[in-house]
């Protein structure tokens, strides 16, 4: 168990290190207004905190630096999430105040302001469209052999896919099929579409169209949706301004990781409510060992649709950042709610 004094000293050290990125020494701490123990006392406490694993030294005679365990403790017990500044508040209000109709735009903008306000890199996992319900299907022939299928969902999301059509199938057949499909598939989740095509609709189509076998084969290819949720990233270059990433090789591995999207997307797909933090090695990726990630999901009703995340160095301004990520996710949830 930590004494009050230890708590206080630990907090001061971490707060200060987050600000300056420099190891913190005992003399420096003792000069703070809020502190009036002598440097020697503080040194003793620091030695104890180090024994307990909350602090580290960069070399034998350096000041102390928080360990990952230290950050973890700080985030779990010492953090007092800051109020948003009035400037931050107005930015949120301006962004979410005006009515925007396209979800993409909201997310993109959100990623922008989050990275702007924090100077870290924001990553927003867009909504999965698999669960969206089909509102309308349209097939437009392009050439003799190709057509484009357009799927509009209840959320206003539009998917399209060009697919080949065997020449034997006449446009009029195609039209009939689309009518049937529209009739039968409305309100079905996108991910269900290929299945549905099998069961009931199969026989219906057979009655109305020639070459239904071919047709179904190709239609299915048009209806299969395997696109992963989109990632919206803001402030990629912010990472380059962090003193811990002066090293080109570190930056490169982080950048490649963000560029690649797949791992990141996997990492962010959590179902937990509220703010989540991953500090340093708590994430499995080598490239991100000096990073922390703050995430919060956003919802439509009770269903989670996506995730807001912020990537920065482990030495992150947790108090500000946590407040901002939380606020943003709330705003996004609210926006969703207003729409549907």
Partner DNA sequence: ATTTAGCACTCGGAGGATATGAGTGCTAAC
Partner DNA sequence: GTTAGCACTCATATCCTCCGAGTGCTAAAT
Q: Catalog residues that contact DNA under the rule CB under 7 A.
A: 22-28, 36-41, 43-44, 46-47, 50, 57-64
- Write down the least CB distance from residue 20 to DNA, Å: 10
Other C-beta atoms closer than 10 Å to the C-beta of 260 total 12
CA proximity to 290, closest of 31, 16, 71: 71
Question: Is the Cβ of residue 9 or residue 219 nearer to DNA in the bound state?
Answer: 9
Question: Is the Cβ of residue 21 or residue 142 nearer to DNA in the bound state?
Answer: 21
Q: 204 CB contacts (<8 Å, ≥6 apart)?
A: 180, 184
Widest CA span in the chain? 91
Question: Is the Cβ of residue 63 or residue 126 nearer to DNA in the bound state?
Answer: 63
**Cα 43 to Cα 109: distance, rounded to the nearest angstrom:** 47
- Write down the least CB distance from residue 287 to DNA, Å: 24
- Write down the least CB distance from residue 23 to a second copy, Å: 22
Question: Is the Cβ of residue 106 or residue 322 nearer to a second copy in the bound state?
Answer: 106
Site for a second copy in 244-263 (CB under 8 A): 246, 248, 251-252, 255-256, 259
Q: How many residues bind a second copy (CB under 8 A)?
A: 34
- Write down the least CB distance from residue 8 to DNA, Å: 12
Contact partner, 140, from DNA, a second copy, none, Cβ < 5-8 Å per class: a second copy
- Write down the least CB distance from residue 6 to DNA, Å: 10
Q: 40 CB contacts (<8 Å, ≥6 apart)?
A: 26
Question: Is the Cβ of residue 82 or residue 182 nearer to a second copy in the bound state?
Answer: 182
Check residue 228 for interaction with a second copy (CB under 8 A): no
Contact partner, 6, from a second copy, DNA, none, Cβ < 5-8 Å per class: none
Structure tokens at 339: 């729409």
> What is the 3-class SS of 87-123, one letter each residue?
HHHHHHHHHHHCCCCCHHHHHHHHHHHHHHHHCCEEE
Other C-beta atoms closer than 10 Å to the C-beta of 184 total 17
**Cα 122 to Cα 107: distance, rounded to the nearest angstrom:** 11
Contact partner, 40, from a second copy, DNA, none, Cβ < 5-8 Å per class: DNA
Site for a second copy in 95-114 (CB under 8 A): 101-102
Check residue 198 for interaction with a second copy (CB under 8 A): no
Site for a second copy in 138-177 (CB under 8 A): 138, 140, 142-143, 146, 148, 150, 152, 154-156, 158, 160-164
- In 84-211, alpha helices (H): 86-97, 103-118, 171-185, 193-208
Q: Label the pairing between strands 55-57 and 146-153.
A: unpaired
**Cα 240 to Cα 246: distance, rounded to the nearest angstrom:** 7
Question: Is the Cβ of residue 155 or residue 292 nearer to a second copy in the bound state?
Answer: 155
Question: Is the Cβ of residue 7 or residue 152 nearer to a second copy in the bound state?
Answer: 152
Q: 18 CB contacts (<8 Å, ≥6 apart)?
A: 315, 316, 317, 318
Site of interaction with a second copy (CB under 8 A)? 101-102, 135-136, 138, 140, 142-143, 146, 148, 150, 152, 154-156, 158, 160-164, 236-237, 240-241, 246, 248, 251-252, 255-256, 259, 339-340
């Amino acid at each position: 168990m930590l004494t009050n004094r230890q708590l206080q000293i630990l907090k001061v050290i971490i707060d200060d290190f987050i600000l300056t990125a420099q190891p913190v020494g005992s003399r420096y701490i003792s000069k703070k207004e809020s502190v009036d123990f002598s440097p020697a006392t503080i040194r003793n406490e620091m030695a104890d905190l180090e024994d307990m694993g909350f602090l580290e030294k960069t070399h034998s005679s350096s000041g102390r630096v928080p360990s990952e365990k230290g950050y973890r403790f700080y985030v779990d017990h010492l953090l007092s999430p800051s109020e948003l500044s009035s400037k931050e508040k107005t930015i949120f209000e301006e962004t979410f105040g005006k009515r925007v109709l396209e979800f993409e735009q909201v997310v993109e903008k959100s990623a922008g302001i989050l990275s702007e306000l924090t100077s870290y890199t924001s990553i927003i996992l867009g909504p999965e469209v698999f669960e969206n319900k089909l509102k309308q299907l349209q097939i437009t022939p392009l050439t003799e052999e190709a057509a484009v299928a357009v799927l509009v969902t209840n959320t206003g999301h539009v998917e399209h896919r060009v697919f080949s059509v065997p020449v034997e199938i006449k446009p009029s057949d195609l039209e009939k099929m689309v009518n049937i499909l529209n009739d039968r598939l409305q309100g079905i989740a996108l991910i269900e579409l290929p299945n549905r095509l099998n069961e009931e609709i199969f026989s219906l189509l057979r009655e109305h169209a020639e070459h239904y076998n071919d047709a179904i084969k190709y239609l299915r290819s048009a209806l299969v949706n395997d696109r992963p949720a989109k990632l919206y990233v803001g402030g990629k270059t912010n990472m380059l301004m962090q003193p811990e990433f002066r090293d080109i090789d570190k930056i490169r591995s982080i950048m490649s990781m963000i560029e690649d999207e797949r791992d990141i997307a996997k990492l962010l797909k959590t179902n937990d409510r509220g703010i989540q933090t991953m500090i340093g090695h708590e994430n499995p990726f080598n490239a991100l060992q000096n990073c922390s990630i703050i995430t919060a999901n956003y919802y439509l009703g009770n269903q989670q649709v996506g995730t807001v995340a912020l990537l920065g160095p482990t030495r992150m301004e947790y108090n500000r950042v946590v407040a901002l990520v939380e606020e943003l996710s709330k705003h996004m949830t609210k926006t969703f709610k207003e729409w549907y």
